[in-house]
Amino acid sequence: MPVFSANLGFLWTDKSLPEAILAAHAAGFVAVECHWPYETPPEDVAAALKETGLPMLGLNTVRGDVAGGENGLSALPGRENEARAAIDQALEYATAVGATSVHVMAGNASGAVAHSTFVGSLVYACAQAAKNDITILIEPLNRNDAPDYFLRTTDQAVAIMDEVKASNLKLMFDCYHVGRNEGDVVTRFKALQPVIGHVQFASVPTRGAPDQGELNYAFVFRKIDAAGWVKPLGAEYKPGGSTEATLGWMSSLV
């Protein structure tokens, strides 16, 4: 039976991160994950994780100048030092809270130089992360939400993983992005399962709770489960109001 991780970048954003961890535990999630926790002291997060017994699955590297439209640094030619600093920061925070993975965000770029810049950043990230048994994740984002993002497809992600050749580099398979960009979510999941490090989901195309939209998540969850995937699936959707009011899917879809 599938189990779920609450993505606290989107769920319970009305609460502080430690309070959101308590809320996720009370709602029945078995794990949590976040986006950019850096304003919360890691010891406060660690205390809430300890109190609830929930693991923190992952967090993201910072995006750079968000107001200026940046969405990550690791594929940006000329920004290698900032990208490395973002990776160091994420790994330090992950280590302090016991998080098991870090999503290295590529940023808005294209072309061969961006590709080699991203590969270089990932080689660095994987080497640093291996010291603390942390997995590095890369995630293709869909072209509607992130039209200029460097990493767009699962094929591109696999080619990059083949080039980096690090056993701790894995794919973040977000059913929402795959559903919007590529389709064939279940078929792609099965084909990619050996290189997937984490799975996320939200309704397609609105990024709401998974019991709405064109993707049948009762079917998707059943197939992922049947494929032998036992890690928590990350609920990364925008509740558009009270998170509790959207949680019916936790029982209706499994």
Ligand X SMILES: O=C(O)C(=O)[C@H](O)CO
From Mg ion, ligand X, none, interface partner of 5 (C-beta below 5 to 8 A by class): none
Taking CB under 6 A as the rule, does residue 101 contact ligand X? Answer: no
Taking CB under 6 A as the rule, does residue 154 contact ligand X? Answer: no
Q: Which of 82, 139, 182, 244 is catalytic?
A: 139
- Let me know if 163 is a catalytic residue: no
Could you tell me if 173 and 198 are in contact, meaning their C-beta atoms sit under 8 angstroms apart?
yes
Q: Which is nearer to ligand X, 49 or 171 (CB)?
A: 171
The alpha-carbon radius of gyration of the chain (Å, integer) is 17
Could you tell me if 80 and 36 are in contact, meaning their C-beta atoms sit under 8 angstroms apart?
no
Could you tell me if 118 and 82 are in contact, meaning their C-beta atoms sit under 8 angstroms apart?
no
Could you tell me if 234 and 55 are in contact, meaning their C-beta atoms sit under 8 angstroms apart?
no
Near Mg ion in 223-242, by CB under 5 A: 236
Applying CB under 6 A, what is the total number of residues that bind ligand X? 10
Taking CB under 5 A as the rule, does residue 33 contact Mg ion? Answer: no
Taking CB under 6 A as the rule, does residue 35 contact ligand X? Answer: yes
Binding mask 167-206 for Mg ion (x = CB under 5 A): -------x-------------------------x------
Q: Which is nearer to Mg ion, 145 or 225 (CB)?
A: 145
Sheet holding 4-7: strands in order across?
31-33, 4-7, 233-235, 196-201, 169-174, 135-138, 101-103, 58-60
Could you tell me if 10 and 238 are in contact, meaning their C-beta atoms sit under 8 angstroms apart?
yes
In whole angstroms, how close is the CB of 59 to ligand X at the nearest point? Answer: 9
In whole angstroms, how close is the CB of 60 to ligand X at the nearest point? Answer: 5
Go through 127-166 and write b for each residue having 16 or more CB atoms within 10 A of its CB, e for each that does not: ebbeeeebbbbbbbbbeeebeebbbbbbeebbebbeebeb
Taking CB under 6 A as the rule, does residue 174 contact ligand X? Answer: yes
Near ligand X in 196-235, by CB under 6 A: 200
The secondary element (H helix, E strand) that includes residue 157 is helix 154-164
- Considering only 64, 134, 139, 215, the residue that binds ligand X (CB under 6 A) is 139
In whole angstroms, how close is the CB of 200 to Mg ion at the nearest point? Answer: 4
In whole angstroms, how close is the CB of 145 to ligand X at the nearest point? Answer: 7
- Let me know if 214 is a catalytic residue: no
- 244/203 Cα distance (integer angstroms): 17
Nearest-5° angle of CA 120, CA 93, CA 230? 85
Beta strands in the chain (DSSP E): 4-7, 31-33, 58-60, 101-103, 135-138, 169-174, 196-201, 233-235
Q: Which is nearer to Mg ion, 174 or 180 (CB)?
A: 174
Residues that bind Mg ion (CB under 5 A): 174, 200, 236
Instruction: Catalogue the active-site residues.
Output: 139, 236
Residues in touch with ligand X (CB under 6 A): 9, 35, 60, 103, 139, 141, 174, 177, 200, 236
